[in-house]
Amino acid sequence: MLRAPPRALPPRRSGKVRPLNRSVLVSGGNRGIGLAVARAFAEAGDKVAVTCRSGEPPEGLFAVRCDVTDAGQVERACKEVVREHGPVQVVVANAGITRDRLLARMSEDDFSAVLDTNLTGAFRLVRQAAGGMMRAGGGRIVLVSSAMGLYGSAGQANYAASKAGLVGLARSLARELGSRDITCNVVAPGFVDTDMTQALSEAQRARVLGQVPLGRCAEAAEVAAAVRFLASEEAAYITGAVIPVDGGLGMGH
Q: Which is nearer to ligand NDP, 55 or 213 (CB)?
A: 55
Site for ligand NDP in 140-179 (CB under 6 A): 144, 146
> Which of 24, 38, 81, 95 is the binder for ligand NDP (CB under 6 A)?
95
Task: Give the span between the Cα atoms of 22 and 46, in whole angstroms.
Answer: 5
Q: Binding-site residue total for ligand NDP (CB under 6 A)?
A: 31
Catalytic: 159? yes
Identify which range of 11-19, 24-32, 78-86, 234-242 contacts ligand NDP by CB under 6 A. Answer: 24-32
Instruction: Give ∠ CA 228-229-232 in degrees, rounded to 5.
Output: 90
Least distance from ligand NDP to the Cβ atom of residue 154, Å: 16
Task: Give the span between the Cα atoms of 240 and 227, in whole angstroms.
Answer: 14
Give the three-state DSSP class for 186.
strand
Identify which range of 16-24, 93-101, 173-181, 230-238 contacts ligand NDP by CB under 6 A. Answer: 93-101
> Which of 58, 132, 165, 189 is the binder for ligand NDP (CB under 6 A)?
189
> Which of 5, 6, 11, 55 is the binder for ligand NDP (CB under 6 A)?
55
Under rule CB under 6 A, residue 28 binds ligand NDP: yes
Measured from the Cβ of residue 60, the count of other Cβ atoms closer than 10 Å reads 10
Identify which range of 12-20, 26-34, 38-46, 168-176 contacts ligand NDP by CB under 6 A. Answer: 26-34
Q: Are 194 and 222 in contact (CB under 8 A)?
A: no
What residues does 139 pair with on adjacent strands?
Answer: 182
Q: Are 26 and 37 in contact (CB under 8 A)?
A: yes
CA–chain centroid gap for 182, Å, is 15
DSSP string across 189-208: E-SB-SHHHHTS-HHHHHHH
Task: Give the span between the Cα atoms of 38 and 47, in whole angstroms.
Answer: 9
Under rule CB under 6 A, residue 185 binds ligand NDP: no
Least distance from ligand NDP to the Cβ atom of residue 234, Å: 23
Contact residues toward ligand NDP (CB under 6 A) are 27-28, 30-34, 51, 53-55, 66-69, 94-97, 117-118, 121, 144, 146, 189, 191-192, 194-197
Among all residues, which ones are annotated catalytic?
159
